[in-house]
Structure 1
Amino acid sequence: MKSLIYLAGLLFFIGCTPKPAPVNNWEQERLNRIKIDFCLSEAQVKEYIRKYIPDVTDEQMRQWEKDKALEYMMIDGKKCYFRNAGPNLFRIDSAAYCVKVAKEGVFLSGSEQVNKIHLPEVIEAVKQSGNDTVMPKHMRVTYTITVDANAVPEGKTIRCWLPYPRTDQRRQRQVKFIRASEPKYTFSPASCQHSTLYMEKKAVRNEPTVFSESFEYTSYAEWHRLKPEDIIPYDTTSTLYKKYTAERETHIRFSPRIRELVAKLTEGESNPLLKARRIFTWINRYFPWASAREYSTIENIPEYVLDNRHGDCGQVSLLFITLCRCSGIPAHFQSGFMMHPGAWNLHDWVEIYFEGIGWVPVDQSFGIPTFAQDADERMFFLGGIDSWRMIVNSDYSMPLVPEKKFPRSETVDFQRGEVEWEGGNLYFNKWNYDMKIDYLN
């Protein structure tokens, strides 16, 4: 049974310095977050849909809702739609997708445009060099969090955790700190699964509070020419195998539904690589990318993906990890940012372990590229990853250093950062983040 976690309530400012709001329990805070995500009326969603389907009917709306293509919740007796319900409809429902394509055509995303050129270069570089990490990209980054003016009372200390590139990764090297906005700062130890730079600053009345950091690092692409015959049996007695094939709170759970699905997907197959390929291609085929509600509001993310027939990068990654672990393939979460020129964003992916080869990357949400020209490119992201990454996390839902006093805004992943003060956590609607990237080669 989930224990109660307490969080300070939201502060409202009415021209005077407020006192901290009373403490609410976690379920109330979770509901507050859901209300932020589910904020559209049916009229607003229809307005978007009419861009592509001018004569949309109530009957169509009800069918899309039944099919989980239009995401909504009943809140306080009122039907409230997810903030991206309209755009997601045209990603999830195949008929709606075809309508949109007929009107606008098919275009590669910014990262796909980069990778269409980049992936063949990575594959060729690996084949020519014999190394599985190639094509380094050196970047200088300035990351900034700006807390809203008067989000906390004047003179109160704001605590801030910024994402910082990991220093313990084979694909991420030459990490160099340049500067921070505050004279005092703390780096998390390399042993921490979330890599952070921590700072504090006192709020000034009517002024935003800004935290920033600058650093450089080099990111490498990685690609393995994986063959079933090269995969040897696991040492199932090893600590690594036991740890990374186990269940984990709260999202990696081997429910009867998961066990039945794994048995069906891997029936008759014992080779770990071929099992992983079946899982990878199945998720790629049946679970399109769609904008996601906040992870902290979801009880079990893999089950949510199965129920709703879609997921964003972290959600399908956790489904892939769960199915792999349940099938006896060691897997763990990895995340940070995709740093493609002109297309940087938060991003999550996976690493899986093959005996005799080691850990290899898997990007489930990048999946099988539509632009792939051959088998190597089609399966690139099962055993490969592009150069354009910043690795911040090696797991999910792990402690921050120094310890956070209130529940995190993002209880699963850590990318945008975290902010709090003595009165409670500052949720994402109280601050914003930005990244400036200089590509040095």
Structure 2
Amino acid sequence: MNDLDFLTADLPEDVNNLIYCGKFEEASRLIDIYLARNISNVLKQRLNFEKYRIDVLKNEYIYTFEEALDLAQEKIEDFTRQELQELKDQRYADWIYIEGREMFGRRFLDNIIKVHPTIKDRLRIKEKEDEAEKDFLDNTIKEIIEKGKKGYFIHLKTGIKIKNEHVRINETVRVHLPIPQKAQQISNIKILNTSQTAKFISPETYPQRTIFFEEQLKENESFTVEYSYENHVKYVNPDFNKVLKRQPKFHTNEWLPQINFSPFLIDLATEIVKDEKNPLLKARKIYDYITQNVQYSYVRPYVSIVNIPEYGAYNLKGDCGVQALLFITLCRIVGIPAKWQSGLYVTPYGVGPHDWAQFYIEPYGWLFADLSFGGSAYRAKNERIWNFYFGNLDPFRMVANSEFHYDILPEKRFLRSDPYDNQVGEVEYLDKGLSRNEFDVIMDIIDVHEI
């Protein structure tokens, strides 16, 4: 169910034209006409997926220009129509055409407030910025650099609860929840408690590790898992002059459909690294390009983006995962082993999903790259933290996934709400899968302390 290699195939020209114009109803009708013709199986899969993708887009882009303007003016003082137009042009407000109208994404306003450098100063109700959390991370990184290492014990309770309008009492529901995997920085993992008896728990080293439940759904039922683990990081200050000439070739291949060495990305990678031969310097050039040029932005569900790295490179915007996958793809194109890590970012102040990358350089082994944290530091003119996140990570990560686009166990019967990554969980009934908008996520911090 999770094989999406057909996404490398293009759509028929007339279908593409309608999709680009946002004429989704007409595109769906035309897709049905194509599906009745004698076409290849790959094209059938691609066309059926496009109908699903259209539904995702229609569910994600829900505000007209006037509705978006009203929402912005409710929150931001002296906000004008011209400003909204300019924020569209400057990549702050995500939008597409749907049936002849400009439609804005669900989180367009959250993104403007989070990313724009001055808008937050004009909020009618000022959002409290937690300087303590920023200072906490800054001081932690300072200590890691000075002392060379740091470790944390983390205890969480995570899970999902199906929203009332999607609850089917007494029907079989299948739930996969992400849990910590054994990784370079993660050890001493303990599953402490579960809301129901687990039917299956993936091995500790499985690339997308989950705990699986299958139950007859009861009223007001949640599915949760409580676990603890340790995160130990050691500071690395890689020296370009100590890099070995002989470098490995693992994790330098394509991984379709997303890690795709397209002509556009090959050209971009070549332009970034130019004639550089040192693999560490090549990786640093790619890191610098992304952190300096790709603006952080919330994005629509990954399942609706046909080529995620190209989306980041063409639009010069993207969230942590888009930036990490662009880094991985560009590194692999120039022969540097690179792979995915993702899960949660957890501090005493909060918890939430996050993605980052790893890359391999002899004699140092696997190093880390957090493009979105690094980019934030670069924009804040904090060179120390910008440099830190090339090669290093803070100790506040829960690693659930070490590969991008990998099956979960047991395999889902229907397409995953996120077929590429798993940070919050997956839910399905016996006759359909649930989208991310059909269930709530539970993330409770029980304990975070230094060890």
Partner of 1:251: 258
The aligned runs of 1:145-156 (5 Å cut-off) are: 145-149=160-164, 151-156=166-171
* Deviation string, structure 1 residues 245-271 (Cα, Å, up to 9, x no partner): 112112212222212211111113111
**More displaced stretch, 369-378 vs 62-71:** 369-378
Return the TM-score normalized by structure 2.
Answer: 0.82
Q: Provide the secondary structure at the position in 1 that maps to 2:437.
A: helix
* Deviation string, structure 1 residues 368-396 (Cα, Å, up to 9, x no partner): 52598986543100110001110000011
1:358 is aligned to 2:365: yes
Contact (CA 8 Å) 2:188, 2:229: kept in 1 or not?
Answer: yes
Task: Report the CA distance between 1:411 and its aligned residue.
Answer: 1.2
- Alignment match of 1:86 (pick from 106, 109, 115): 109
CA distance in structure 1 between the partners assigned to 2:299 and 2:417 by the alignment: 15
Partner of 1:20: none
Contact (CA 8 Å) 2:181, 2:205: kept in 1 or not?
Answer: no
| 2:290 counterpart letter in structure 1 | I
- Alignment match of 1:56 (pick from 80, 86, 90): 80
Task: Report the CA distance between 1:281 and its aligned residue.
Answer: 1.4
CA distance in structure 2 between the partners assigned to 1:283 and 1:109 by the alignment: 26
Gap change, CA 1:284 and 1:102, over 3 Å in 2: farther
Q: Provide the secondary structure at the position in 1 that maps to 2:406.
A: coil
Task: Report the CA distance between 1:91 and its aligned residue.
Answer: 6.0
Contact (CA 8 Å) 2:292, 2:378: kept in 1 or not?
Answer: no
CA distance in structure 1 between the partners assigned to 2:295 and 2:128 by the alignment: 15
Contact (CA 8 Å) 1:201, 1:209: kept in 2 or not?
Answer: no
1:321 is aligned to 2:328: yes
* Deviation string, structure 1 residues 77-116 (Cα, Å, up to 9, x no partner): 3321111223434666xxx634555877996777533211
CA distance in structure 2 between the partners assigned to 1:371 and 1:124 by the alignment: 24
The aligned runs of 1:219-368 (5 Å cut-off) are: 219-235=231-247, 238=248, 241=249, 243-367=250-374
1:116 is aligned to 2:120: no
1:75 is aligned to 2:98: yes
Partner of 1:439: 448
Gap change, CA 1:210 and 1:314, over 3 Å in 2: same
Partner of 2:59: 36
Instruction: Name stretches of at least 5 consecutive residues in structure 2 with no aligned partner.
Output: 10-46
Gap change, CA 1:427 and 1:175, over 3 Å in 2: same
* Deviation string, structure 1 residues 230-251 (Cα, Å, up to 9, x no partner): 111234xx5xx1x411121122
**More displaced stretch, 277-286 vs 375-384:** 375-384
CA distance in structure 2 between the partners assigned to 1:47 and 1:89 by the alignment: 14
Q: Provide the secondary structure at the position in 1 that maps to 2:374.
A: coil
Q: Which has the higher helix share?
A: 2
Identity %: 28
| 2:340 counterpart letter in structure 1 | F
Partner of 2:391: 383
Gap change, CA 1:29 and 1:62, over 3 Å in 2: same
Instruction: Name stretches of at least 5 consecutive residues in structure 1 with no aligned partner.
Output: 5-23, 127-133
| 1:113 counterpart letter in structure 2 | D
1:97 is aligned to 2:117: yes
* Deviation string, structure 1 residues 158-199 (Cα, Å, up to 9, x no partner): 0000111002x1311110111111124311124531010001
Gap change, CA 1:285 and 1:374, over 3 Å in 2: closer
* Deviation string, structure 1 residues 28-61 (Cα, Å, up to 9, x no partner): 3222221222111212221344354625235x54
- Alignment match of 2:173 (pick from 130, 133, 158): 158
CA distance in structure 2 between the partners assigned to 1:87 and 1:118 by the alignment: 28
CA distance in structure 2 between the partners assigned to 1:71 and 1:65 by the alignment: 7
Contact (CA 8 Å) 1:179, 1:215: kept in 2 or not?
Answer: yes
1:404 is aligned to 2:412: yes
Partner of 1:21: none
CA distance in structure 1 between the partners assigned to 2:438 and 2:409 by the alignment: 22
